[in-house]
Amino acid sequence: MSRNRVKSSQSLHWATVLFWVVLVGMIASLALSYLVLKNRIIRVAEESRKQEVELMRWKDRNAQLQAAIQTLRSPKELERKVSGMGLVKVSELQWIRMDNAPETKLVKGYQLDGREP
C-alpha cells in the first residue's frame, strides 16, 4: 500500500471502482449476450432455411405423386387394367328389364313410401 493511501490522503474510492467494475461487467455481459443471441439467430435462421428447403422438397414430391396418382386413376389407365383383369364394363353386360313392373309392397297393404294404397 502506498504511503499516500496509508495517510488516507489518496485513499481508494471503492464506490467508483465498484461502479466501473459493474459498468464494464454489464457492457461485457451485454456484448456476450449480443454474440450469443446473434449466433442463435444465425443458427435458427439456418435451421429455418433448411426446413424451408425440406418443405419445398416435400411439396415437389407430393406434386409428383399427385400427378402420378392421377395418371394411374385416369379412365384410360383404369380401362386398360380392367381389361387386363378380364373384366367387362357394365354397359357391355346384358341386363334384365321389365315393362310395367308391379309396385313392390313391403308390408301387407302398404307401399314402399309407407303410404296406404
Partner 1 sequence: MSLRTRALALTCFLAIGFTVVSLRLVQIQILDGDRYHQEAIHNHFERVEVPPTRGMILDSHGTILAKTHVLYDVRLDGKDLKNPEQTLPLLSKTLEMPLSEIKALYRPEKRFELLKTGLTEETVSALKDLKLKSLIFERKAFRAYPNSGHASHVIGFVDGQNAGVMGIERLMNKELRGVAGERWIERDVRRREIAAYRRKDVRAMDGMNVQLTLDLGIQHVVEESLNRVMEKTKANAAYSIVMRPKTGEILAMANRPTFDPNLREGMDLARLRNRCMTDVMEPGSIFKIVTLSGVLQEGLMSLNTQIFCENGSFYYGGKWLHDDEENGVLSVEDILARSSNIGFCKMGLALGEERLYTYAKQFGFGSSTGMMPGQGESAGILNPLHRWTKVSISRVPMGHEVGVTPIQMISAYSAIANGGRLMEPRLIHQITDNQGRIVKAFPPHVVRQVIQEKTANLVSEALTRVLSSEGTGKKANVPGFNVAGKTGTAQKVINGTYSKEKYLASFIGYLPQENPEFVVLVMVDEPKGHEYHGGQVAAPAFAEMAAQIAQSLNLVPKSAPATKVGAL
Q: How far is the CB of 19 from partner 1 (least distance, A)?
A: 36
| Cβ-proximal residues to 109 (8 Å cutoff; 6+ apart), any chain | 116, 117
Binding partner 1 (rule: CB under 8 A), the pick from 16, 94, 116, 117 is 94
Query: Grid coordinates in use for 110?
Result: 302398404
Contact criterion met (CB below 8 Å) for 111 and 103 = yes
Of residues 35 through 64, those in contact with partner 1 by CB under 8 A are: 41-42, 44-46, 48-49, 57, 60-61, 63-64
| Cβ-proximal residues to 82 (8 Å cutoff; 6+ apart), any chain | 89
Q: How far is the CB of 8 from partner 1 (least distance, A)?
A: 43
Q: Is 23 in the site for partner 1 (CB under 8 A)?
A: no
Q: Is 15 in the site for partner 1 (CB under 8 A)?
A: no
Q: Is 99 in the site for partner 1 (CB under 8 A)?
A: yes
Task: Please give the Cα distance from 54 to 34 (Å, whole number).
Answer: 30
